[in-house]
A and B are shown apart, each in its own frame.
Chain A
Amino acid sequence: GQNIDQPTEMTATEGAIVQINCTYQTSGFNGLFWYQQHAGEAPTFLSYNVLDGLEEKGRFSSFLSRSKGYSYLLLKELQMKDSASYLCAVIPGYSSASKIIFGSGTRLSIRP
Chain B
Amino acid sequence: DTAVSQTPKYLVTQMGNDKSIKCEQNLGHDTMYWYKQDSKKFLKIMFSYNNKELIINETVPNRFSPKSPDKAHLNLHINSLELGDSAVYFCASSTRTVETQYFGPGTRLLVL
Contacts and interface: CB of A to CB of B under 8 A. Distances in A.
Interface residues of A, number: 24
Interface stretch (B11-19, B66-74, B77-85, B90-98): B90-98
Contact of B102 (A45, A91, A107): A45
Contacts of B98: 30-31, 91, 94, 98
Interface residues of B, number: 22
Contact of B48 (A41, A99, A102, A104): A99
Instruction: Classify the secondary structure of B's interface with A.
Output: loop
Given A99-B48, A99-B56, A102-B44, A43 B103 contact: yes
A100 interface: yes
Q: Which of A31, A44, A97, A101 has the most CB of B within 10 A?
A: A97
A97 B43 contact: no
